[in-house]
């Protein structure tokens, strides 16, 4: 693997970690707001 390929792989792995972190945050936020909506509804 060339130096450029190793650098590109490193960049893609970093981007992948960031996207996974962002997806986890969005998943938790979605669950939070969905629960808040359920709690807000009158019974």
pLDDT digits (tens, 9 = 90+) for 4-40: 999 999 999 999 999 999 999 999 999 999 999 988 8
Specify the residue for token string 């996974």.
Answer: 20
Q: What confidence score (pLDDT) does residue 26 get?
A: 98
pLDDT at 41: 76
pLDDT at residue 42, rounded to an integer: 76
Structural domain boundaries in the chain: 1-43
Q: Give pLDDT, residue 43.
A: 66
Angstrom distances, CA of residue 3 to CA of 6, 8, 15, 20: 5, 9, 18, 26
DSSP-derived secondary structure for the chain:
--HHHHHHHHHHHHHHHHHHHHHHHHHHHHHHHHHHHHHHS--
């Amino acid at each position: 693997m060339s130096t450029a390929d190793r650098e590109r792989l490193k960049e893609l792995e970093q981007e992948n970690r960031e996207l996974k972190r962002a997806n986890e945050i969005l998943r938790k936020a979605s669950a939070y707001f969905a629960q808040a909506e359920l709690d807000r509804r009158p019974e």
